[in-house]
A and B are shown apart, each in its own frame.
Chain A
Amino acid sequence: MKVTLKIWRQPDAASPGAMHTYEVDKVSEDMSFLEMLDVLNEQLNAQGEDPVAFDSDCREGICGMCGLMINGQAHGPEVTTTCQLHMRSFKDGDEIVVEPWRSDAFPVLKDLVVDRGALDRIIQAGGFISVNTGSAPEAHSVPVPRDDAVRAFSAAACIGCGACVAACPNGSASLFLGAKITHLGELPQGQPERHSRVVDMVAQHDHEGFGGCTNIGECTAACPKEIPLDVISQLNRDLRTALVHGR
């Protein structure tokens, strides 16, 4: 099949960008979306035009490196990562608009590549359990109720791709933030730092310039790992408790 792509091109962070139109022929429906872009890039390379820069690494939906806004949807029309989206989700003759994640906290570096370092800095602010290597007690010394472990795991499945930010009309990273708060807060090991963690991480989130959450729910609909909105509730609950206790 054949598709028409409208792609955001921007040479670097400092230069302005614009949408450019390209056509790609002989697209197989077994191609992943990124493989289709690989084909475009081979084509551009042959024509002497700079290939489109986009991020991807594992291409099996787990590393969180890829992420494109495809026809107005983060990661495109399926609930999955961009690398796991296949061309069978499109039709011959489709026009596909491809944009980078739009968030001022994620500056565009080139074309479709953005800088998501803000998410790392939120983790640095408290998204961990302070335990030095070698100082851990025997693993079975603290049993963890199975349901708590399951809920912690579901939240910990976040891949840090930033789709929640990209999809949120407010540009908030609350789903990402809530996922980490819930992951660590559900486990007994995470309790000692529970209050300071939420206060510090929220402060860093706001400092990075992410928007505030208005509980709209676009984030969870875009999340390739289907992180539920209740992690934001958990975040709010923990924040309230921390503030009431003077952290």
Chain B
Amino acid sequence: MASPIDPSHSTPTNEPPVQVSDDAQGYYVPGEPLVDPRTPTGPIKDRWTTRKFENRLVNPANRRKLSIIIVGTGLAGGAAAATLGEAGYNVKSFCYQDSPRRAHSIAAQGGINAAKNYKEDGDSTHRLFYDTVKGGDYRSRESNVYRLAEVSANIIDQCVAQGVPFAREYGGLLDNRSFGGVQVSRTFYARGQTGQQLLIGAYQAMERQVAAGTVTEYTRHEMLELIVADGRARGIIARNMVTGEIETHLADVVVLASGGYGNVFYLSTNAMGSNVTATWRAHRKGAYFANPCYTQIHPTCIPVSGSHQSKLTLMSESLRNDGRIWVPKKKADCDKDPRQIPEQDRDYYLERIYPSFGNLVPRDIASRGAKNVCDEGRGVGPEVDGVRRGVYLDFADSIARLGEDAVREKYGNLFDMYKQITGENPYEVPMRIYPAVHYTMGGLWVDYDLQSSIPGLFVTGEANFSDHGANRLGASALMQGLADGYFVLPNTIREYLADGPFDALDESHPAVAEAKKSVEDRVQHFLSTNGTRSVDSYHRELGNIMWEYCGMERTEDGLKKAIDLIRGLREDFWRNVKVLGTADSLNQSLEKAGRVADFFELGELMCIDALNRRESCGGHFRAESQTEDGEALRHDDQFAYVAAWEFGGDGAQPVLHKEDLVYTAIEMKQRSYK
């Protein structure tokens, strides 16, 4: 711990921020300050316990009369469906995939953090809390993060009991590793497939409830609209993706667990179908969208090989432990066989700029470094749209020092994956890597109880904004998804449901009819536009704009340019998109059109948020806010707040509500990796 602050007192350690700059002037409307009405009080370590006690209970006999819609079946949604089903509520679960088991949580590789302190290396709830707030560059809410650290240990117990086959030591106890640069070993893992194993655990628990009749699953259903009636979220409009039927589903409460929005960049490590529609439609109905510009860009992904590229594949960043990153010093060498480039003509730029951390600098610094050298024209690999975007990750030294077998032992599966995708053998030729969008820390604004600004709409997992601040630590996404789904939401949603069941809603209610009609109109619009360009071509172009101007490094001019470009492209999209097929059948172009339409609106808001935040923090780097050495420079005095954006209406400016971040159990510090 940096400072011995007594965690039991609650005196703020920071002043409320006062923003001086106003880069986004003319793009937004300032709104009322935002205060979380459910902010817990008292000593930080007691807040969650107190809240669980204060939140009202629902009589078991009444639970089956209360219905809950959950959109998404990843760790957050699947775990919530299982837990609420076990409690006896009447749960309807929706996913766009053909099975709940396919949600993209499944692709997480590294592991899940938990403050078990099994290694007796000084870990604790407080240390996990501290690391997470610090890792998030002091842009998350401390009460939420503390709760996350607190329930982390229960997650491991639950998963083990479900049969998740975590890695074990010879004595039969659970193995841990250190992950993402933290100094304790608190990461539980199942080879490189931790996300898969955790998701299968949640999925099985949920399927058990399907068999028990408490959960009904709607697969190949996509939520296209939120129903807000009399001020409360009361249901969704979903399209049956097989029959095309536009269905109305009503309930007492709606939970969105629909994941992140990295696919606004077109190329990302997200799944093809990952989209923002569920949360964006809720945003348009009144839910605030918080910190949309916070995106995490992962440095060790396989580079783009051509304009056909549909997605990017991440490789564990553990590769940076033994690989050395370099590019040629001379542009002329960039298309040479790297093995022919002599040592003195190589630029090991991370080792050169950051001698003490070298290749192990944090994700955002490593990512930006790669972008900078490629922008200088020193990138390697195939030219895509005239630029080589790749840097070498070279294991020649490690192979010489440790032997090929030792390297294979450590990284064999990653090397195989690389070879499968690129056709190159990384034992002989240096790997090529490039950063890719990986995770979005922003999301719908929620209070401490995970309720959005629309009563009755709860948001969990990556879809909300609350726990990771401006940057997420490795192995913390799985922790948050399961914490929300298994332990937090079931204990907070009951406070809301204790007032239910709410008045029965009819499909003829104006709010329902309006929502349904708007979905049908949109579908009809896409099918009748009969333009000339495919949905994918628009998506790719939007992605390029976002990547170029709202990616690893953002500038005032670039963001303003991006906003103009997005607006122009969006207008063209609505006039000129070509969607074939019919409304009443499986129509994948139609599905994509709706998602891309929402990405356009989100993309613009991301740029406005990035424009407003004239500071560099976590995954958000503003070129105007850096130290003399080119390092990220935070401005806590101006920006220690959550930017919660309210939808202003079509064509109108969004409204910015600021929620000040107040720390009592931790003191803000600038980071340094020099």
Residues of A within 8 A of B (CB): 11-12, 28-32, 34-36, 38-39, 42, 45-46, 48-51, 53, 55-65, 78, 80, 84, 86, 88, 109-110, 113, 115-117, 119-120, 123-125, 127-140, 142-146, 149-150, 152-153, 156-157, 159-160, 183-184, 187, 189-190
Contact = CB atoms under 8 A, between A and B. Distances in A.
Contacts of A131: 158, 161-162, 205
A48 B97 contact: no
Interface stretch (B190-198, B279-287, B323-331): B190-198
Contact of A51 (B195, B309, B580): B580
8 contacts: A32-B310, A64-B102, A110-B586, A120-B99, A120-B100, A134-B158, A139-B160, A153-B191
Contacts of B589: 45, 51
B272 to A, nearest CB: 5
Given A45-B589, A128-B207, A156-B200, A63 B423 contact: no
B211 A109 contact: no
Contacts of B106: 58, 62-63
A136 B157 contact: yes
A88 B107 CA distance: 25
Interface in B396-434: 417, 420-423
Contact of B578 (A45, A119, A139): A45
A175 B307 CA distance: 38
A208 to B, nearest CB: 14
A38 B536 contact: yes
Nearest to A84: B420
B423 A127 contact: no
B350 to A, nearest CB: 26
B107 A184 contact: no
A204 to B, nearest CB: 10
User: Which 9 A-B pairs have CB atoms at the shortest separation, nearest pair first?
Assistant: A143-B172, A136-B161, A128-B204, A153-B165, A30-B305, A133-B83, A124-B211, A110-B586, A152-B165
Interface in B20-69: none
A130 B82 CA distance: 11
B116 A57 contact: no
A30 B422 contact: yes
A128 B420 contact: no
A149 B580 contact: no
A53 B588 contact: yes
B: contact size bracket? 35 or more
Contacts of B200: 156
Given A59-B271, A117-B99, A53 B586 contact: yes
A78 B51 CA distance: 54
A59 B272 contact: yes
A32 B207 CA distance: 33
A110 B83 CA distance: 34
Listed residue (B97, B217, B537, B588) with the most chain A CB atoms within 10 angstroms of its CB = B588
Contact of A160 (B99, B308, B536): B99
Contacts of A12: 585-586
B308 A31 contact: yes
Contact of A57 (B104, B157, B490): B104
Nearest to A12: B585
B671 interface: no
